[in-house]
Amino acid sequence: MKVVVGMSGGVDSAVAAYLLKKQGYEVVGLFMKNWDSNINNDIEGITDDICPQEKDYIDAKKVCDELSIPLYRVDFIKEYWDSVFTYFLEELKKGRTPNPDIMCNKYIKFDKFIEEARKLGADKIATGHYARMIDGKLYKGVDYNKDQTYFLSQVTKEQFKDILFPVGDYTKEEIRNIAKENDIPVFDKKDSTGICFIGERNYQRFVQNYLKGQEGDIIDISTNEVIGKHHGLMNYTIGQRKNVGISGNTERHYVVGKNVKKNILYVAFKDDNEYLYSDEAIIENFNFISDKRPIKCAAKFRYRQKDNDVEVEYLKNNEIIVKYTNVSSVTPGQACVLYLGDECIGGGFIKEVRKNNEKLWYL
């Protein structure tokens, strides 16, 4: 049986390929290039000998050579721009906080990539995600610190057909040990972090290449006083504490809200963090991975956030209402993902946040 593995150049996909070959599969590697880093370099006047994605491809090739498996590559630059990067910019314009990794999984890694894998004769498709498929259902990876089901929450049940997650039954430490013990070249390669198309660049400077921020007032929500100027609402997210940019004020503040129409950024002093808490949210575009519709379950409103107990009301048009007790920094645009135990029920995007039956002044 032939398995096409998405090779990223990292240790997780490398060990995934190793494990599958050890299990007797015919393994083929396929590397995706989703972003043209030269675009960033041209805009910012940066000259790199080799862009990060090319370095990743070289690492993926080293791994496949070591494992004696073929490696193909495919460019999804246009598809990524149309389906992921455009979404990213449009969400920022609305004052929301987007999650492009979720959309990349939905439209690229579990859509366009699968199409290319089928062309190579794939019976199964594998990735290095920390997740598990059990009887057609999506479950958290055994390493809760690395679990990536949050980012898979918009992938449909149909897209999960024939998907394998070989590393989902292991901890990250075990994966690195397997790589080291078997002389896999990337055993000590640092994990990639952040948004892939930004890389090591300054986030605000990168965004300003595409969206020109308009200066506006920073207002202390508790006193209604103007205490500084922001340089574009797209540069801030709810709960942010660093780089808020209140000139002449050394006190730490939190970002607690935005008014897009009036171009106002609301902040609160660090001891007034009750402004960050809410108790209810409307979730739109909910993608049901499971057939279950629990009234009581758990939810994550951000990646790496602990599970929060919630009650769910199911509405029409794939909307739900989740009710909870004092969760901080629930942010429009981010994903809300539901869990029943380790099973991922599905996820959608936070549309509106409320506290005591009143809509908060986020947007």
Q: Are 175 and 13 in contact (CB under 8 A)?
A: no
Pairwise CA distance, residues 76 & 111, whole Å: 11
Considering Cα of 237, then 242, then 245, then 249, what sign does the dihedral take?
positive
Which helix (H) or strand (E) segment is 78 a member of?
helix 77-80
| Cβ-proximal residues to 358 (8 Å cutoff; 6+ apart), any chain | none
Closest by CA position to 129, among listed 102, 143, 155, 147: 147
* 104 belongs to the catalytic site: yes
Query: Which residues are 253's β-sheet partners?
Result: 269
Cα–Cα–Cα angle for 70, 76, 79, rounded to 5 degrees: 155
Of 196, 297, 336, 344, catalytic = 196
Which tokens belong to 103? Answer: 């959309």
Measure the N-to-C terminal CA separation of the chain; round to a whole number of Å: 51
Pairwise CA distance, residues 59 & 62, whole Å: 5
Of 51, 104, 297, 336, catalytic = 104
Active site residues: 104, 196
